[in-house]
Structure 1
Amino acid sequence: MNYELRIMNIKKKESRRLVLSLFCVLFSVLSHAQVKSSIDTTNIKIGEQITYKIEVDTDSTNLVVFPEGQTFMPLEVIDSYDVDTTKQDAKFNLIKKYGLTQFDSGAFTIPRQKIVIGDKTFFTDSLKVIVNPVVVDTTKQGLYDIKPIIEVEKGKSNWLRNVLIALLTIGLIASLIYWFVWRKKPLTEEEKIALLPPYDRAKLALEKLDESNYLEYDEFKAYYSELTLAIRKYLDEKVYDHALESTTDELISRLRLLKDGNQIDLSQETIKNLESIFKRADLVKFAKSAPDKELAKLDRQTVAVEIDHVKEVLPEPTEEEKLLDQQYKEAQERRKKRKKMMITTVLVIGIIAATFVGFGIKYGFKYVTDTLLGNDNLELLEGEWVQSAYGYPPITVSTPKVLKRIETDSLNIVDAPVSFTEFRYGNVLDDLSVSLTTASLKNHEANETIDLGEVSEKAITQLEDKGVENIFVKTDKFVTPNGAEGLKTHGSASFPYPNSDKFVDGEYIMLHFTSQNIIQQIMITYHKEDEYAQEIVNRILNSVELKPAAE
């Protein structure tokens, strides 16, 4: 009996000792660190924010690692606040807050979150959240049709100014060509006289001789030169086509021959009068004879009369002669028009060539040629670029075109369950392609590191799966302008032509970044030796900024 009581007392003491030991261990753990989690509400509407708070009490010597990335799925992290630290005695109180939301209605559970304190791991409790749809009271708020798509106005550019300058330049050149080439210029006095018939020109020459002051100043040589020239020109055009260069004797002999041959019915008196005037003019011009002024005036009247006599005896032109004359005039007009067109063509070609050479010297002949003929990558480079943030944590990047969201089920860059978000312009078979992918790893432990080298190798394998061959690989450290570090994989490769067995030499660049359970990739492919594509790529790379999730 006493033995049994002794055994029972021993067991009671051992039980008390075990409870006390467990209590001491628990007290030691709790005294070392305490973790609490809470949310400000368990009931929200779609799109409203929940503030999730984790509070940690720990010694100052312990390193605390809070959850980062999309570890709160199915809720989305829309903000990650800085850690608020306060000191209480020998311990620190750390408070980390997250802004969460959900855009679908229903009941959701925030999963347990892992907090690493020193060399120990703690887990928070899971929390249930109700997301309610927004209910519209149609008795108070009417329903409306869906609004049409609104065209977004693009930013201002200089295209209108450039068009106006081009139009003004073309207009100025066209005006100058019209003014100096095509415009009907006012006829000079000589041109107007040249268009008159021979008879009218001869009569006009005599009238001008009357208006002169030759006789008043005894300038007989000039007077008789003008007088005989008037009748000689008329005879040259209507009677004998060598009258101007013939001597007096030659001309008079020709007139007599024409009369004797019945080619022109000139009277002997007319021929004699003309011979007398021509010989007197020769004496004045070559022997410096000075006839009486009245005789000179009489000679002028005689020439006028004889011109009328010659006109009277000239035969009327036949219809054939009239037609030939009309054809001659039309041929003259056509020659003038062709000459103007040739001058215009030469001027335009010269202006275009001079403009091309001028701009080529200033900007480069390849640039000018590509601008005139059109080059897709040049248009992208000089077009309006778009700067936007993609994925989470957000990557800010400037691109020639907006990267469009692409639905993708898988991307072979890690051997783990992942969810993907991809944005893309073009594809690897195009002259230029840009893609940005964010991969969120599921069931990833916080203390597990992600080897970006392995991620890069799998990305290269993915390129090979798309038909890319002869891939040359180089890797370098990459640092964004805002200090984020990642891995740059780049090199040359042979890219296949669409629907063809041919390949084109190209270049590729892949940037990889990681943050906790997130892998982000930027991939750019472009054709080799395309200077515009190279400028586009450099501009994209210089614009990459990775915003940390905690900002």
Structure 2
Amino acid sequence: MELKRLFLLLLFLICGNAFAQILSSNLEKKTMALGEINHLVIKINNLNNQQVSAAPENELLPFHFEEIKDSIGIQPDLYQRRIEFSVYEEGTFTIPELEFKVGDRILKTIPYEIDVINTAQKGDQITDIMKNKEVKLEVKDYWELYKWYLLAALAVIAVIVLIVLFIKWGRSKKSQPVVVTNQTLKELDSLKKKKYIEEGNYRSFYVELIDISRKFITTQYRVPADVLLTDDLVQLIKENNTISQENEKVVEDVFVRGDLVKFAKTFPDKEIMEKDFTDIREFVKRSSKDLEFENLRKDV
């Protein structure tokens, strides 16, 4: 009798495992060159016609992974997703656990670490097979060699001068602080209407919020926020004292959180997103006080 029960229990476990969903993943390369194409394949077997829920196409991988193609194949008993991607920065990057919901179950892939290298730095030493021959050049020869470079440099200088004059006089009215502030507030209102916060789409929300903020700081404070990394930008605004300490803290907190969201290292809730949006909006409104204080300091 005991043997029969043991046999039935073993049969039950085997049948349960046989019909359970099995998730597997395979990464083609764990070391890749800059811009090289890599593939990640994810499969779920034994679906039994159950629906699979996951991140939308081209949004499964975190920031830094440039998705080229994201193809999904679904059959009654098989779900397969093949992602073709590249990375355009050197370093070690992590593909975290990726979640897939099958019916009421949550299945996760294993994390992967990928090393991205610049193969151009691994060139062999080049040795001349014969000595260079010295040739004496006259002024005419130098002119023929470099005249186009000289003319191009003069043309670039002339264009730069014209651009500076155009910005200083031709567009001075459009660069007034009030105009820049109002334009930025309109952009923030447009962002609010997209309902990223209500939908929990934190990645798109922070990408657009940071872009609007960088553009505003660049125009309003004459700080190259559009090209600086977050750490460098925060250090710069702290050193030049153009922005008040209250506004500095808003920029640092929101920008750092935005970077963490891009790298999929944090997942803010709706309350935090609402607060960051409100803080940036108030920072934009307060910016005119920063500029008034800066003008007074210059006058002194």
Please report the TM-score for the alignment, with normalisation by the length of structure 2: 0.49
| Higher helix fraction (1 or 2) | 2
Please report the TM-score for the alignment, with normalisation by the length of structure 1: 0.30
Q: Larger relative CO (CA 8 A, sep 6+): 1 or 2?
A: 2
